[in-house]
Amino acid sequence: MKKRFLELALVLTMMCTGVFGCANKGAQEAGAESSAESGAADSLGESASDITSEAASQAGTTDRSGNPITVPGSVDTIISMAPSTTQILIDLGLGDKIIACDTYSFASYSADLKADIPQFDMMTPDQEKIVSLNADIVFTTGMSASHGDDVFASVKEAGICVCDIPSSASIADIEEDILFIGDIVKKSDEAKELVSKMQDTIADITAASMNIKDDQKKTVLFELFTPSAESPTIYTAGSGTYITEMIELIGAENVAGKEKDDWPALTEEAAIAMDPQVILTADMYTDDVINVLLGMSGWENVTAIKNKAVYQIDNDTVNRPNHHVVSAMIEMAKVVYPEVYKDLKDPFANDDAEEEKPAA
């Protein structure tokens, strides 16, 4: 049973691109030809208003996967089929416009959604039911394309806008996603504010990281799942991921950061040989995971184990590519370099729950 959970979670975490597009619905005609993706957000120092210009140019032409779309004249009803997108929509103040969502979104954000909205399986959604809801737009994710089938084909054929937001590999892409969604749902100013908070916080982190001397720089192993007899490999973040980018921004080095694969599977022997000074785990399936890691046979001489420098990072926050990855970055920073980042504030923390993490 645990192995089945691990396989599903791996797909959820590692799915990076999708193939879905958007059928025509609404009053606006598609404008210019499809424009090139990204580019405007290559530098983290770029302002949100500058980045928005490209997101706006895409809003009437292509979704984030490059598929042609026509944006409805107004967006009053939304179906969100990815937790990361659902959280963005909620933080844009649109929780009441979400008329249906995927099961993971409802499990995580039910307090911000209507209690009786339909929920759909992300992999095999009930297309007939989705069509009957007649939403202005359906936001999808590359996760739904993992088996190669267009599971929203009937929805598009019915003339409902299906807009794909594939999981982003960089912080710049995440910023573009937020701005793009903001343009689509007519919340551009609110989206720019979210991105500005991201950029301001990253700037604070970058400034603080200048105080970390070269001989103080720590090596970090980020693990998604803890090795066991049933699943003996360690899945981690490699070179092409925003998680590696986050580790580097706080002034540390990802020991797997040069691995060619985005999500490499390491043997225990390989991970031990990397000798990380800190281990960060996003494992939510292993009970008492910190003590399990500290007690693993053969790891006794790994620096992180000897120094008990093993910390758990919120799985949802770190693995869902939206503005809340900044919260995960702050979490990382404060456990890896507690003195350097002790005064760093999370701009997206719950106002009434600064000391207590929300349930996963």
CATH number of domain containing 141:
3.40.50.1980
Q: Which one, of 181, 213, 138, 155, lies nearest residue 322 by Cα?
A: 181
pLDDT digits (tens, 9 = 90+) for 241-300: 999 999 999 999 999 998 888 999 999 999 999 999 999 999 988 999 999 999 999 999
Expressed as residue numbers, the domain containing 33 is: 2-198
Over residues 5-44, the pLDDT tens digits come to 444 455 455 443 332 333 333 333 323 222 323 333 333 4
9 part of a folded domain = yes
CA dihedral 84, 58, 196, 194 (to 10 degrees): -30
Identify whether 348 is part of a domain.
no
Same domain flag for 93 and 234? no
Q: How many helices (H) and strands (E) does the chain have?
A: 14, 11
pLDDT confidence of residue 148: 65
State whether 82 and 123 are in the same domain: yes
Dihedral sign of CA atoms 220, 226, 231, 236 in order: negative
List CB contacts of 299: < 8 A, sequence separation 6 or more: 268, 272, 293, 305
Question: 205 lies in a domain?
Answer: no
Percent of the chain with pLDDT over 70: 79
Please tell me the predicted confidence (pLDDT) of residue 228.
Answer: 86
Q: CA–CA separation, 331 vs 113, rounded Å?
A: 27
Starting at the edge strand found earlier in the chain, the sheet holding 119-120 runs 119-120, 98-102, 78-80, 137-140, 161-164
Domain-embedded: residue 123: yes
Mean per-residue pLDDT, 135-162: 85
Per-residue pLDDT at 32:
28
**DSSP H or E stretch at residue 161:** strand 161-164
Is residue 343 a part of any domain in this protein?
no
Same domain flag for 189 and 250: no
Whether residues 125 and 159 share a domain: the answer is yes
CB 164 within 8 A of CB 37: no
Question: Is 290 strand, coil or helix?
Answer: helix
Is 312 part of any domain?
yes
For residues 150-159, average pLDDT: 91
| Burial group, residue 232, by CB count within 10 angstroms (0-12, 13-18, 19+) | exposed
Same domain (yes/no): 24, 162: yes
Long-range CB contact pairs, 283-286, < 8 A, 24+: 283/223, 283/224, 283/225, 283/226, 283/312, 283/315, 284/315, 284/360, 285/2, 285/5, 285/6, 285/9, 285/225, 286/225, 286/226, 286/228
Task: Quote the pTM value.
Answer: 0.82
Q: Are residues 173 and 95 in the same domain?
A: yes
Q: Number of folded domains in the chain? A: 2
In a domain, 347, yes or no: no
For the CA atoms of 308, 290, 330, 170, the dihedral, rounded to the nearest 10 degrees, stands at: 110
Looking at residue 39, its pLDDT comes to 33
Q: Are residues 226 and 186 in the same domain?
A: no
Last-in-domain residue among 170, 198, 226: 198
Q: 298-355, pLDDT tens digit by residue?
A: 999 999 999 999 999 999 999 999 999 999 999 999 999 999 999 999 999 974 444 4
pLDDT at 237 over 90: yes
pLDDT tens-digit map of 74-125:
999 999 999 999 999 999 999 999 999 999 999 999 999 999 999 999 889 9
Please say whether the dihedral angle defined by the alpha carbons of residues 114, 116, 120 and 125, taken in this order, is positive or negative.
negative
Q: What is the dihedral of CA 257, 66, 329, 89, to 10 degrees?
A: -160
Residue 286 lies in a domain: yes
164, 198, 232 - which closes a domain: 198
User: Tokens representing 202?
Assistant: 């990253």
173 & 302 share domain: no
User: Could you tell me if 146 and 285 lie in one domain?
Assistant: no
Give pLDDT, residue 260.
Answer: 83
Please tell me whether residues 184 and 37 are part of one structural domain: yes
How far out from the chain centre does Cα 98 lie?
A: 20
The dihedral formed by the CA atoms of 118, 120, 125 and 129, expressed in degrees to the nearest 10: -10
| Residue 180 sits in the same domain as residue 91 | yes
Residues 88 and 163 reside in one and the same domain: yes
CA distances from 357 to 13, 92, 332, 353 (A): 21, 21, 14, 7
* pLDDT score recorded for residue 252: 98
